[in-house]
Structure 1
Amino acid sequence: MNQNVNPTEVKRVPIVAAMLVGAFVGILNETLLATALPSIMNDFGIGESQVQWLTTAFLLTNGVMIPITAFLIERFTTRQLFITALSIFALGTSVASISHTFELLLGARVIQAAGSGIMLPLMMTVMLKIFPVEKRGAAMGMAGVVISFAPAIGPTLSGWLLEFFSWRGLFYVVLPIVIITIIIAAIFVKNVTEQTYPKIDILSILLSSFGFGGLLYGFSSITGGHGGEEAAAQIDSQAVAIIIAGAIIITLFIIRQMKLKRPMLEFRVFKYPIFSLSLIITMIVLMALIGAETMLPLYMQNTRGFTPLESGLMLFPGAIVMGVMSPITGMLFDKFGAKWLATSGMAIVTVTTFLFTSLEMDTAYSFLVIIYAVRMFGLSLVMMPVMTAGLNQLPPEWHPHGTAMANTMQQVSASIGTAILITVMTSAATNYQPDQAALEGLSEAEAMNHIASSAAINGYNSAFWIATILSIVGLCLSFFLKTKSQNDKADNKAV
């Protein structure tokens, strides 16, 4: 029988290592297929509107699972839940590696995400349990490596692997790592979370799944139109209707949670102002971050003609910076608190995002690499320090709900950010008015090519202007965070 142990007495290193690896491979798979999608399209004879569901379905399932995880953490032991989540993820990965139809591969991605959606909030909850407040910054800095480095390295890793293997090789690489992690977890992971055995509220699970799922699906589909302007407009109207329906269902879900004695997801966490502020800043950061991670690969491959590997390698130094800085930032947070790290980081993010508003057809590759890497340095100063500062405001019994809420809102904001920026990009490109003077002396083919390239560039630059505005809002909000000395004096009272 699995007995709970005192969280302060466990051997932290093996538990944290197992949790970090599990969460890493889970989040890595959000972007691992990014550069493999053209190969999958060719293999199965499908179009962009179908193949994009390999990513969208993964994010949707993640978004649905995360709110349920707070309930699962209170129902099952740490060891049971983590090994089960890893096993589900391994099953999905193995099925994906042998998939010979698109439908089977899509189903495998959903299975993968069902396991992945549990691992990240579980890891963050365990870290809050086993580390005292004064050491949480460093611990959450390690979590920041997973949250930020994994999706950043995904396109680079897949671009490199596709030079030597088919897209199935991406799953062959991940599967042995997951199996080894299951073995390590079975030996070293202890039960550090408390089981209160809440009753299963089927209505809450249904409202959560359809509400968050609908919201994420709507924003993921809002720019997914193919087949001309009429088809695109039709899909847009359907997506808007789904978003509205999702928002209504989430409202009903929140009302029900506020009435339940033991809610599935505790919305009372928003009574803590620093937690609420931290979550808003984190969501804004992710929406701005998506600007670079979505727009730059599109700009490089579709407009500039770079290969997927070259595009992935452009992002690689930034991923390394984020990976190196996350634990360092955690230690700085323990010493100085979140406020000055966040304001400095948001200032860097704002300036570097602004620099991406002037992309051209001849923008230097080195410029893209350097500015992106500096931008990731700024983001490393913001993400985990701000979120850790918010979670530290919550009482221990609400940590599972705080981490579940944070991760859910991050998924939603990433989806919303992508939809907004792609909408701005496509709209600005469609409405572009060419400079007639620049077309003089060009043949008809050359003029058409010039207009298409200029329209695309205008779209990317417009999207980065929106990302810049978001960054400025985040910078302004970061000044309302507390310094370490202010936090030490505060009583962490809810409003």
Structure 2
Amino acid sequence: MTKSTKNGPILAILLTGTFLCNLNQTLLNVALPSIMSDFNISASQGQWISTGYMLVSGLMIPITAFLIERFKTRPLYHFSITMFLIGSILAGISPSFTVLILGRMIQAIGSGVIMPLMTVTLMNIYPANKIGSIMGLIGLAMNFAPGIGPTMAGWIVQSYNWRYLFYILIPFAALNLLLSFRYLANVGRQKMLKFNLIGVILSSVGLGCLLLGFSNAGDHLWLSFNVLGVIIIGSVITAIFVYQQLTITSPMLNFTVFKSKTFTMTTIINFVVIMALYGGMLLLPMFLQNVRHVTPFVSGVIMLPGACFMAILSPLSGRLFDRYGAKPITIIGLVILIVGTFMFTQLTVHSTVTFAALAQTIRSIGLVLILMPLQTEALKSLPLELVAHGTAMFQTTRQIAGSIGTSILITMMSISSKHFEKSLVLTHSINQQQGIILHGIKSAYNMTTILCLIALILTILLKKNPPLPNLNSDRIILTTTVK
């Protein structure tokens, strides 16, 4: 029997959980030097704090479609936020670097499920004409958290200790868990699906190798086994996984979502944009800290205006989507993004941090008009029963795009800097070293600008959607809130 329930508390709980997960992703970048010092580890070892989290989170995403269809919303969310809470506690009290990595990976198990679960749940309980506005709020949670993360982390590390980056998450995650027991409802229909063990193994190994191979590009040669070899292995196993999913009756990840031309095209556009986004996120701190020599805290503060604009404009972008659709908004966003990115290609060793903050703010305004409208357009093109699979597919390609974009742009920066250095008569002066680093950064930003132009062309070619079925037609609340 269907029972009504208020959607506001469900929305608040899911948005808060997603905000905590996204905030957690960027908190530790600033704290890496302190962690390296405390545990006496190298930079390559320290990178596993981010790499390990990214791998586990990425591996969980393809499985989420099965989990969302098989298990009810309440127990699945309770499990996910509990894993995030346990991981935060373990990482905060970690006596060794190994335990810290373990805590981060446990966090990732929870966060990898929470974000897709939120999207699917909210698309079930809100009507089609409100989806854009709701996705705008999702964008606020997903985009604002990474923006304030570096600033907050810089202040905490500077004033206290890196362990407090985990301690501050614990009370909020615990409160979110308690409120979910009271207010969260079960949404959608469950299917008695069989657990596809072979599919899980193939997707985990294949996707894991792809993500790891591209991540290794920062420390190894592209033609080495650690990069190219691992990528080839990942590609072959992923191809086997796709074939297996296409030939079984109840796939873990339903690739028929790509029969929707709109979903396919928006996923490709998003892939290109994310490549430019993730790479650009690494380039700016390098310029600020290695060329302009500002502190990590100041570097985070410079990112803050852009994050604030994203928070303010995310709900607005959702309402604009409901009124005008994705294409015109995304085109405007990409033009703004291109302007901001092009400004970074004009950097000099004397460029002020104000100029960098302005360019980053312009980029952020563009991104807020691109990311959530694209995802909303992609998911609205699917019937409701495929939304879980579409969400998992969209997030999986996002993870892969981020890894590819980061590795390509960082590699290009490194190669460009080395070639530029060879063309100089070395004096080993500070200004010359800054110029060498800056040349590589500008080359990478040139490539980022090209990626944005490609995304703009693809968006212009995006065709108008056919009339969509009512996304709310199959909605059912299975269990009301617990009194």
Separation in structure 2 between the aligned mates of residue 11 and residue 198 of structure 1, nearest angstrom: 29
Distance in 1 (alpha carbons) for counterparts of 2:349 and 2:81:
44
Q: Does 1:324 align with 2:319?
A: no
* C-alpha displacement of 1:436: 5.7
Equivalent residue in structure 2 for 1:276, among 255, 264, 268: 264
For 1:491 and 1:196, locate their aligned partners in 2 and report how far apart those are by CA, in whole Å.
Answer: 21
The correspondence for 2:398, drawn from 410, 413, 416, is 410
Q: Distance in 2 between matches of 1:68 and 1:339?
A: 30
Of 241, 253, 277 in structure 2, the residue corresponding to residue 253 of structure 1 is 241
Partner of 1:334: 322
Question: SS state of the match for residue 258, structure 2?
Answer: helix
Residue 377 of structure 2 is aligned to residue 377 of structure 1: no
> Aligned to 2:185, what secondary structure does the other structure show?
coil
What residue identity is the alignment partner of 2:112? Answer: G
The residue identity in structure 1 corresponding to 2:235 is: A
Alignment of 1:207-222 (within 5 A): 207-222=202-217
2:48 pairs with 1:67 = no
> What displacement does 1:489 show?
8.1
Shift of 1:386: 1.3
Q: Which runs of 5+ in 1 are unaligned?
A: 226-231
Matched, 1:464 2:464: no
* Deviation, structure 1 residue 450: 3.2
Match 1:399 to one of 387, 392, 396: 387
TM-score w.r.t. the length of structure 2 is: 0.94
1:228 corresponds to = none
- CA distance in 2 between counterparts of 1:204 and 1:434 reads 49
Looking at structure 1, the residues matched to 112 and 222 of structure 2 have their Cα atoms a distance apart, in angstroms, of 32
Retained in 2: the 8 A contact 1:434–1:451?
A: no
CA deviation after TM superposition for structure 1 residue 197, in Å: 1.7
Correspondence for 1:185: 180
Counterpart CA distance in 1 for 2:243 and 2:5 is 39
Cross-structure match for 1:229: none
Deviations 1:146-178 (A, max 9, x none): 222222222111012112110000001011000
Which residue matches 1:195?
A: 190
1:10–1:130 CA contact under 8 A, matched in 2: no
The 5 Å alignment of 1:280-291 reads: 280-291=268-279
Q: Take 2:246 and 2:329, find their aligned partners in 1: how far apart are those partners?
A: 34
Contact residue 5 and residue 192 of structure 1 kept, 8 A: no
**After the TM superposition, which residues 24-423 of structure 1 pair with which residues of structure 2 at under 5 Å, given as runs?**
24-225=19-220, 236-423=224-411
Q: By how many angstroms is 1:445 displaced? A: 4.7
CA–CA distance in structure 2, aligned partners of residues 408 and 5 of structure 1: 33
**Would you say the 8 A contact 1:338–1:481 is kept in 2?**
no
% identical equivalent positions: 39
Deviation at 1:362, TM superposition (A): 0.9
Contact 1:215–1:247, Cα closer than 8 Å, also in 2: yes
Matched letter for residue 410 of structure 1: R
Any idea what the Cα deviations from partners look like across 1:38-78, whole Å, max 9, x if unmatched?
00011011111000000000000010000001101111100
Q: Is the 8 A contact 1:338 1:482 kept in 2?
A: no
The alignment yields a C-alpha RMSD, in angstroms, of 1.8
Instruction: Quote the Cα distance in structure 2 between the aligned partners of 1:408 and 1:106.
Output: 22
Unmatched tracts of structure 2, length 5 or more: 472-483
Is the alpha carbon distance of 1:143 and 1:5 closer, same or farther for their aligned partners in structure 2, counting shifts above 3 Å?
farther
Residue identity opposite 1:191 in structure 2: N
Asked whether the equivalents of residues 279 and 402 of structure 2 are also in contact (C-alpha less than 8 Å), the reply is no
How many Å separate the matches in 2 of 1:224 and 1:156?
A: 27
Q: Deviations over 1:57-107 (max 9, x none)?
A: 000001000000110111110000001000011000000010121011011
Alpha-carbon distance between aligned partners in 2 of 1:221 and 1:53, rounded to the nearest angstrom: 11
AA paired with 2:79? T
Q: Secondary structure at the match of 2:187?
A: coil
Residue 138 (structure 1) shift: 0.3
Distance 2:132 2:403 in 1: 27
Higher relative contact order (CA 8 A, sep 6+): 2
Amino acid at match of 2:153: S
Find the aligned partners of 2:110 and 2:86 in 1 and give their Cα distance. 9
The one-letter amino acid of 2:363's match is: R
Number of positions where the alignment pairs a residue of Structure 1 with one of Structure 2? 471
- Equivalent residue for 2:454? 473
Counterpart amino acid of residue 391 in structure 1: L
TM-score norm. by structure 1 comes to: 0.92
| SS of structure 2 residue aligned to 1:431 | helix
User: In the alignment, is the contact (CA less than 8 A) between 1:73 and 1:193 conserved in 2?
Assistant: no
- Specify the code of the residue in structure 2 equivalent to 1:110: M
Amino acid at match of 1:476: I
Query: In 2, Cα distance between the equivalents of 1:233 and 1:273?
Result: 33
> Contact 2:288–2:353 at 8 Å: present in 1 too?
no
In the aligned structure 1, how far is the partner of 2:2 from the partner of 2:24?
Answer: 32
Describe the SS at the equivalent of 2:194.
coil
Q: 1:489 and 1:192 mapped to 2: Cα distance?
A: 21
Which one-letter code corresponds to 2:453 in the other structure?
A: I
Match of 1:319, SS state, is helix
- The CA distance in 2 between the partners of 1:32 and 1:179, in whole Å, is 19
